[in-house]
Amino acid sequence: MQKPSLPKGTRDFAPEVMVKRNYILNTIRAVFEKFGFQPLETPSMENLDVLTGKYGDEGDQLIFKILNSGDFLSKAKPEDKDDYKALIQKISEKALRYDLTVPFARFVTMNRGVISFPFKRYQIQPVWRGDRPQRGRYREFYQCDADVVGTDSLICEAEIILMINEVLGKLGIEKFALKINNRKILSGIADYLGYPERVSDMCVAIDKLDKIGEEKVLEELGQRGFSEASLQKISPVIALSGTYAEKIIYLKQIFTSSEIGRKGLEELEEVVNLLSQITQKEDFIEHLHIDFDQNLARGLSYYTGAIFEVKALNVSIGSISGGGRYDDLTGAFGMPDMSGVGFSFGVDRIYDVMEELNIFPEENTLSTTQVMFTNFDAEAQKYLLPILAQFRAANIRCEIYPDSSKLKKQMNYANRKNIPYVVLAGEDEMKAAKITLKNMRSGEQDLLTASEAIQKIQ
């Protein structure tokens, strides 16, 4: 008999896990809607040509391709086995979505005639990446995206920072770093090095700074063709530390001949100015966990302006949120000059952070069932079923134990499901036209009418 198994990098979610995941998802959804975002869903698969070329060479390699139906090798030739890209084009026309941003851009392009701009949408769906599975990095995982297209207003960037802070605050993740940068600043650094056309190569190397360290980053830049003189110039930039204001002053000094670099600094300062106006707090940078990081690159090639990344502190887990502005994304689909900005929460990593920090609410508050009705015999069942209906009419989540069983067995069932209340009805309760409501946490029992019990639970 075959032993069942799961593909690496995927997981089952048992009910006790799902209630926690739903707690995270519902918190995120509520904040998105509070800021005026509307829900959207797109298919799990996209045409391969929609996805390729949007994530850089490294990202393209992680896209899960789907073999064509039927004889998928019918268009392939023997010599194609030596040319991976040519072979893929002939045997695969579709792929699982890598993220939610590119499908969103495709949706906007296809529906531009009926969308009202600026268009604000949120999307909560799974995505797939052919990455090496490890803790906090899965091949199938959920993203929670919020994007705005049709405006270049920096108010959108400011509100992204506010939403990130509100979601993480509501979830109880109090210690985190919200890193912010601007791709124009990175272009300015490339100008400063004398390699304005090599900004993508520079970003790919710098993006690995946290993983491999400064020495290895400089080594990789050298391998990518950057001169020894340029490596000496970038070294103090990479190592730059200090306050937000101190970093801005330093970069202004080296961007004297880089217009795009200065533009990036202006945009960053305007976002901070807007946040100051919104929060009316003198210490708003610390209050909003903002950390200007000139090395933040984020590998996705479609970012053109502000970029964000969030990491929880005191846990060994990667980024839990990230995003940025992508002025040229819809242009790839024949819709140029459509400015957009957005970000995403990684639900799976947020879950791991909350588990490690042990900050989920008490299990009783996360239970899907609020009240369990016991079932001793046919007479008790007949008495309790109408009361069960009353509870549900009052929007109380409840269930009845389906079989007539011993009390201990039924109580064990309620405990395993973390059900906070149990309703009991024996001969005495039925004579008095009442029920006994037991609080499973405190052990307290009250003899109440159905209406009184409903009011107590509510």
CB 141 within 8 A of CB 347: yes
What is the DSSP code (8-state) at residue 182? E
Is residue 355 within 8 Å of 347, Cβ to Cβ?
no
Nearest alpha-carbon partner for 417 in 399, 404, 392: 399
pLDDT digits (tens, 9 = 90+) for 26-49: 999 999 999 999 999 999 999 999
pLDDT for residue 82 is more than 80: no
Region of 122 (left: φ > 0; alpha: ψ -120 to 50; beta: rest) is beta
Tokens of 350: 């947020």
Percentage of the chain beyond pLDDT 90 is 74
In which residue are the tokens 């330093």 written? 250
Q: What is the pLDDT of residues 208-261, one digit of tens each?
A: 888 899 899 999 999 999 999 999 999 999 999 999 999 999 999 999 999 999
Its sign, for the CA torsion 290, 291, 294, 298, is negative
**What gap in Å lies between CA 363 and CA 372, rounded to an integer?**
16
Averaged pLDDT for residues 196-201: 90
- The answer to whether 167 and 28 have CB atoms below 8 angstroms apart is yes
d(CA 148, CA 163): 13
Check: CB of residue 299 under 8 Å from CB of residue 204.
yes
Among residues 254, 64, 256, which one has the least CA distance to residue 141?
64
Q: CA–CA separation, 162 vs 31, rounded Å?
A: 10
Lowest model confidence (mean pLDDT) among 132-141, 276-285, 409-418: 132-141
Residue 81 binned pLDDT confidence (cut-offs 50, 70, 90): low
What integer is the mean pLDDT of 265-279? 96
Q: Which one, of 185, 412, 204, lies nearest residue 307 by Cα? A: 185
Confidence (pLDDT) at 58: 81
Separation of CA 20 from chain center: 15
d(CA 144, CA 149): 17
Higher pLDDT, 423 or 362: 423
Quick one: pLDDT at residue 79?
A: 60
pLDDT class of 54 with cuts at 50, 70, 90: confident
Q: What is the DSSP secondary structure assignment for residue 73, as one 8-state letter?
A: T
Residue 211's pLDDT is what? Answer: 86
Provide the 8-state DSSP code for 257: T
- For tokens 């010599």, the residue is 79
Q: Which pairing describes strands 421-424 and 371-373: parallel, antiparallel, or unpaired?
A: parallel
Residues of the chain with CATH 3.30.930.10: 15-63+98-357
| Residue of 238, 219, 214 lying closest to 295 (CA atoms) | 238
Residue 204: pLDDT band (50, 70, 90) is: confident
Where do the CATH 3.40.50.800 domains begin and end in the chain?
A: 368-457
Tell me: pLDDT of 139 over 80: yes
Q: Which tokens go with 185?
A: 């600043």
Instruction: For 316-373, write each residue's pLDDT tens digit.
Output: 888 999 999 988 778 888 888 888 899 999 998 999 999 999 999 986 667 789 999 9
Non-local (6+) Cβ contacts of 349 within 8 A are: 136, 317, 318, 319, 320
Contact indicator for 262, 188 with CB cutoff of 8 Å: yes
Structure tokens at 417: 């499901």
Measured in residues, the chain has a length of 458
Question: What's the mean pLDDT in 89-110?
Answer: 89
Q: Which residues pair with 92 in a beta bridge?
A: 67
H or E element in which residue 340 lies? strand 340-346
DSSP H/E element including 126:
strand 119-128
* DSSP secondary structure string for all residues of 212-255: HHHHHHHHHHHHTT--HHHHHHHHHHHT--S-HHHHHHHHHHHT
CATH 3.40.630.30 fits 15-63+98-357, yes or no: no
pLDDT at 76 over 70: no
Q: Which residue has the higher pLDDT, 1 or 20?
A: 20
- The encoded tokens of residue 427 equal 């001969």
Query: What string of DSSP letters covers 396-449?
Result: --EEE-SS---HHHHHHHHHHTT-SEEEE--HHHHHHT-EEEEETTT--EEEE-
Of the candidates 67, 297, 57, 290, the residue with the CA atom closest to the CA atom of residue 157 = 290
Closest to 22 measured CA to CA, from 399, 347, 296: 347
Q: Are strands 65-67 and 92-96 parallel, antiparallel or unpaired?
A: antiparallel
Average pLDDT, the chain: 91
How far is the C-alpha of 448 from the C-alpha of 347, rounded, in Å?
42
Assign a CATH topology to domain 368-457.
Rossmann fold (3.40.50)
Q: How far apart are CA 307 and CA 207, in angstroms?
A: 12
Residue with structure tokens 């072979």?
87
Strand, coil or helix: 180: strand
